C-alpha cells in the first residue's frame, strides 16, 4: 500500500493547525498519517495534535521556519522506525488550506503515473502557472512555491545528509533561515540527480496569507514588510556565500539549465516540459 506522511509546521497558531489536521483525518485517513511539529510555540498555544515540541531557547526565540522545521520532523521520523513505511512526505505550513475532497489519493496517483517525479506541488487557483499546464493535468517545472510540497522518499534518500544529520542540514539548508530560493536549490538537486519536479492541477491548495499579515505578533515573527526585507537581504548573502551568485537570476539560470539537461536525457518526457 502506497502510504503518505504529512507534516504540519506550527508556531503559536493551534486553530488552523488543528483544522488542517482534522481535514486530513476526514478526507485522507486511509493512506496518510499526519504529524505536527511545534516550532517553539508557547506552551498554551500548542496544537492538540502535537507530535514533536521543539523548544530549545534558540527555537523558542526564532522559530524554525519551513526548512529547519521540516528537517527537524523528517529527521525524527528517520531516527525512529517510521521512515520506510512511507513512500512520500507531504510538507505543509499551517496556513495551507485544502479543498473539501481527497488530496492524498490524487497525489499518489500522480506519483504512480510519473515514476521519475521527486517533488510534487498542488496548484493554486491564483497561480499563473495554471496557464502553462494548459490541457495537461501535470507538468514538470523548474520553479515551485514551498508551502505545500510532496517529496518522494527515494528522492530524499538521494540527497539527504547521512553522515551528520541534524535540523540544519537533513534535507534543506538551515543556514538559509528565511528560505530564500530554497525550493530552487532543492529542484536543482532533483534534476541533477535524474529526478523531476512538477505542479499538478489534480489537486489544489491555497495559502492563507492573512496569518502572516495580521498575526505576525502572535507567531512572534517579523511583520510582512520587515520579513520580506530580511528575506531578500539575508538570502542574497547566503546565495553569494554558497554559490557565488550575485542575483536570483543566476540561480534561476542554474536551475533551468539542469531542467533542460534532464529532458535531453529523457526525450520521452518532453510532453511534460513547459
Residues 6 or more apart whose CB falls under 8 angstroms from that of 241 comprise none
The span from the CA of 138 to the CA of 198, in Å, is 7
**pLDDT score of 140:** 98
Domain count, the chain: 1
List pLDDT tens digits, range 84-129. Answer: 999 999 999 999 999 999 999 999 999 999 999 999 999 999 888 8
Residues of the chain with pLDDT under 70: 210-220
Looking at residue 81, what is its pLDDT? 84
For strand 88-93 and strand 138-140, is the pairing parallel, antiparallel, or unpaired? unpaired
Predicted pLDDT of residue 260: 98
Distance between CA 156 and CA 70 in Å, rounded?
A: 12
> Cβ distance 178 to 101 under 8 Å?
no
Residue 244: what pLDDT? 96
* Parent domain of 251: 4-272
CA 9 to chain CA mean position, Å:
10
Strand intervals (E) in 29-163 = 32-39, 52-54, 88-93, 96-98, 117-123, 138-140, 148-152
In angstroms, the CA 14 to CA 123 distance is 25
Of 155, 159, 66, 157, nearest to 111 by C-alpha is: 155
Residue 103's pLDDT is what?
96
CA atoms within 13 A on the CB side of 157: 10
CATH number assigned to the domain comprising residue 117: 3.90.550.10
Amino acid at each position: 500500500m502506497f502510504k503518505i506522511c504529512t507534516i504540519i509546521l506550527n508556531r503559536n497558531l493551534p486553530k488552523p493547525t488543528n483544522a488542517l489536521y482534522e481535514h486530513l483525518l476526514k478526507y485522507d485517513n486511509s493512506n496518510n498519517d499526519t504529524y505536527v511539529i511545534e516550532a517553539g510555540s508557547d506552551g498554551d498555544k500548542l496544537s492538540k495534535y502535537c507530535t514533536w515540541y521543539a523548544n530549545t531557547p534558540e527555537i523558542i526565540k526564532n522559530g524554525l521556519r519551513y526548512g529547519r522545521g521540516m528537517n527537524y520532523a523528517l529527521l525524527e521520523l528517520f531516527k525512529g522506525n517510521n521512515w520506510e513505511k512511507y513512500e512520500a512526505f507531504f510538507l505543509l505550513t499551517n496556513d495551507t488550506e485544502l479543498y473539501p475532497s481527497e488530496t492524498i489519493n490524487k497525489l499518489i496517483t500522480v506519483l504512480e503515473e510519473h515514476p521519475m517525479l521527486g517533488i510534487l506541488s498542488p496548484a493554486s487557483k491564483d497561480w499563473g502557472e495554471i496557464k502553462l499546464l494548459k490541457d495537461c493535468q501535470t507538468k514538470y517545472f523548474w520553479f515551485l512555491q514551498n508551502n505545500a510540497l510532496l517529496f518522494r522518499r527515494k528522492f530524499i534518500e538521494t540527497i539527504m545528509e547521512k553522515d551528520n544529520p541534524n535540523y540544519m542540514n537533513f534535507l534543506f539548508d538551515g543556514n538559509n533561515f528565511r528560505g530564500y530560493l530554497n525550493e530552487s536549490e532543492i529542484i536543482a538537486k532533483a534534476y541533477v540527480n535524474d529526478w523531476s519536479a512538477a505542479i499538478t492541477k489534480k489537486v489544489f491548495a491555497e495559502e492563507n496569507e492573512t496569518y502572516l499579515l495580521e498575526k505576525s505578533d502572535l507567531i512572534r515573527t517579523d511583520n510582512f514588510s520587515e520579513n520580506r526585507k530580511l528575506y531578500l537581504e539575508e538570502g542574497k548573502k547566503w546565495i553569494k556565500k554558497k554559490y557565488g551568485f550575485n542575483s536570483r537570476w543566476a540561480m534561476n539560470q542554474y536551475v533551468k539549465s539542469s531542467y533542460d539537461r534532464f529532458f535531453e536525457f529523457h526525450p520521452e518526457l518532453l510532453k511534460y516540459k513547459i
